[in-house]
Structure 1
Amino acid sequence: MKKILLPTSTAGSLPKPTWLAEPEKLWSPWKLDNEILTEGKQDALRIALLEQDLAGIDIVSDGEQTRQHFVTTFIEHLSGVDFEKRETVRIRDRYDASVPTVVSAVERRKPVFVEDAKFLRKLTNKPIKWALPGPMTMIDTLYDAHYKSRQKLAWEFATILNQEAKELEAAGVDIIQFDEPAFNVFFDEVNDWGIATLERAIEGLKCETAVHICYGYGIQANTDWKKTLGSEWRQYEESFPKLQKSNIDIISLECQNSHVPMDLIELIRGKKVMVGAIDVATNTIETPEQVANVLRKALQFVDADKLYPSTNCGMAPLSREVARGKLEALSAGTKIVRGEL
């Protein structure tokens, strides 16, 4: 990877074109099907890459254009999960959702995102980051009628994720990111086995690895939950000490417009830090100076060569126009701080 000071990236998803899926909505159904859907997803991926290039993003992704949802699309490709047999569960102790059921041993019988990653690799010479759901967040998006143990199912998913990650690495992916918003909720499980299952998922990888821990998409249930967290959000304090000792290379966190005390980053000193400098829960586009201000504060606790400016979370629920403006602001604000350094 070409060495760039403060390389910018997104946390994950970008809005899909209106001809592919209903805009500004999670779990939005596809508007195309069969071969036309495959072609449409690839065209959307090309557009997502172009949007990132035009905005000056340094580490690019697929914008999750080929998946409906950051967790369930991966699970759809596994055996042992029945999507017709659904149960209502509480997602991250925040909101109820109808989810598929684990009915037998879970297995990955074929690659899930590897062909998409190869397609993206052919389109760009820039470093690629690919997001996968983390084991704990996967089990929190299912009803388990087979293992009847969150820990046991998480270990099974960790093994499956490791298989996928190794093939993504072979396809040319430079950074593999595991999305674990559940780490901000289930603190005892995170420390008991959550980080251990994450380390199982990255076992044997030579590419860089990241874990993304945020306060969720800008949907109403998450916005309402944040209002209950008080004037300081200290959830990261629970997981950062163990993550600092883990083999994960990069830790991604939420900073813009949040009540996360910036000095918590000191707990992961020595790690690379993906600092969320773009708020995905508002349509207001940040000014470059607002982005720069978040990065300056973060630089008190992380060395410049380890700081990766990013977004707080994915931007799938936003309009394409707003997301485009936010990407441009991220690049412009980063450019200001690069100049100061």
Structure 2
Amino acid sequence: MNKLLPTSTAGSLPKPSWLAQPETLWSPWKLGGQELAEGRRDALRLSLADQLEAGIDVVSDGEQTRQHFVTTFIEHLDGVDFENRKTVRIRDRYDASVPVVVDEVTRRGPVFVADAENLRQHTDAPIKWALPGPMTMVDTLYDDHYGSRADLAWKFAEILNQEAKELAAAGVDIVQFDEPAFNVFFDEVKEWGVAALERAAEGLECETAVHICYGYGIEANTSWKRTLGSEWRQYEEIFPKLQRSSLDIISLECHNSHVPAELMELVRGKTLMVGAIDVASTAVETPEEVAATLRTALQYVDADKLWPSTNCGMTPLAREVARGKLEALSAGAEIIRQELAAGSR
């Protein structure tokens, strides 16, 4: 990106009410068959229009074509049983009924490539596409075949790499891997998590990003956050390893979190997507609040490496709230651009 402080979103945007239940995370589709296929394409174009009208510079599909950020991808793989599910503890935080790995996991074919091609046809703006990260995929399943989280993650990394290369060939400029599990399983991150992530990003002819958040504003996550105390220092455990990794961009939470800003210094040199929008609140930030977050970040991030973003996805929010937050993000970034321009004169 040549533009200073390019804005982007970390993840999902709300779906229209005719496609899924509003303000509901992982809502079932309201359409089926060909109507669903057309509806998702229409929703993708609406999401793109919302981003462009709000002044977002690096756009995405808003995850309009997927129901769940992990399992929608896994649904297109062989070797996973979705019928006979088992209950597991997700990120040591909440119980969920999940699919079971019963055989060698293989990719039938492209999962999101047609959707990416559709998005590319409708905009010349830089495109960022999100995929689940290997460790978070492992943590969203019950493994009854591999017997090793590391082995299963490596297999997923190989599959993700295939998908990511095809997304890049379809015109995607940045492939983002979502790894909220990195904020929980620190020993595994160091032992094999970053290596699996690098395998997923290996040889890509586009930029690569990893998004590490504290989660949507759902009760299971907010309850967990209350146990973290006045300082959330999870990033301190993993940032040094990521600073040395091959990933180009790191996406983190900032605004209204208890993450000490100085932790951003640990990844200096990487491009940072700094979350300046709180997705766990329906209150729309003012441009000045966004600007204040960015001023703080600039103490630890070089201006040419700072991308203003959201903390996480905004699917559970009302569409008008999400639009307001996107507009505030763009306006706040423009305040800082003008300040930087004035300071350089």
| TM-score for the superposition, normalised by structure 1 | 0.99
- Match in the other structure for 1:47: 46
Residue 82 of structure 1 aligns to a residue whose secondary structure is strand
Q: Which residue in the other structure is 2:231 paired with?
A: 232
Which residue of the partner structure matches residue 132 of structure 2?
Answer: 133
> Any stretches of 5+ residues in structure 1 without a counterpart?
none
Deviations for 1:24-70, whole angstroms, at most 9, x for unmatched residues?
A: 11221111111111000000000000000110000000000000010
Residues in 1 aligned to 2:117 and 2:307: alpha-carbon distance in whole angstroms: 24
Question: Counterpart in 1 of 2:285?
Answer: 286
Q: Secondary structure at the match of 2:160?
A: helix
How far apart are the structure 2 equivalents of 1:244 and 1:64? 27
1:107 aligns with 2:106: yes
**2: CA distance between counterparts of 1:51 and 1:206?**
28
Letter in structure 2 aligned against 1:291: V
- 2: distance between equivalents of 1:148 and 1:290? 47
Mapped partners of 1:148, 1:9: distance in 2: 38
Q: Secondary structure at the match of 1:116?
A: helix
Distance 1:266 1:218 in 2: 26
Alignment of 1:91-240 (within 5 A): 91-240=90-239
Partner of 2:58: 59
Amino acid at match of 1:104: D
Matched position secondary structure for 1:41: helix
Give the CA deviation at 1:281: 0.3
- 2: CA distance between counterparts of 1:183 and 1:260? 15
The residue that corresponds to 2:3 in the other structure is 4
Q: CA deviation at 1:122?
A: 0.3
Query: What is the letter of the counterpart of residue 278 of structure 1?
Result: I
Q: Deviations over 1:239-271 (max 9, x none)?
A: 100100000000000001000000000000100
In the TM superposition, what whole-angstrom CA distance separates every residue of 1:183-207 from its partner, at most 9, and x where no partner exists?
A: 0000000000000000000110121
What letter corresponds to residue 199 of structure 1 in structure 2? E
Match of 1:154, SS state, is helix
Give the letter for the 2:168 counterpart: E
Figure out how many residues of one structure are paired with residues of the other and give that number. Answer: 340
For residues 6 and 199 of structure 1, the distance between their equivalents in structure 2, rounded to whole angstroms, comes to: 26
Q: What residue number does 1:268 align with?
A: 267
Q: Distance in 2 between matches of 1:173 and 1:199?
A: 18
Aligned to 1:318: 317
Q: Distance in 2 between matches of 1:68 and 1:18?
A: 14
Matched, 1:79 2:78: yes
**What's the CA shift for 1:109?**
1.5
- SS of the residue 2:89 aligns to: strand
Structure 2 distance, partners of 1:8, 1:290, is 15
Q: Distance in 1 between matches of 2:290 and 2:217?
A: 18
Displacement of 1:23 in angstroms is 1.2
Equivalent position of 1:242 in the other structure: 241
Shift of 1:104: 0.4
Q: How many percent identity over aligned positions?
A: 77
Q: Over residues 160-185 of structure 1, what are the superposed CA-to-partner deviations in whole Å (9 max), with x where a residue is unaligned?
A: 00000000000000000000000000
Q: Which runs of 4+ in 1 moved over 2 A?
A: none
Shift of 1:114: 0.3
CA distance in 1, matches of 2:126, 2:225: 33
What is the SS of the residue equivalent to 2:10? coil
Q: Which amino acid aligns with 1:36?
A: E
> Mean Cα displacement is larger for which, 183-192 or 25-34?
25-34
Aligned mates of 2:58, 2:228 — CA distance in 1:
32
The DSSP-based 3-state class of the residue aligned with 1:87 is strand
2:228 alignment partner AA? L
SS of residue in 1 equivalent to 2:199: helix
Structure 2, unpaired ranges of 5+: 341-345
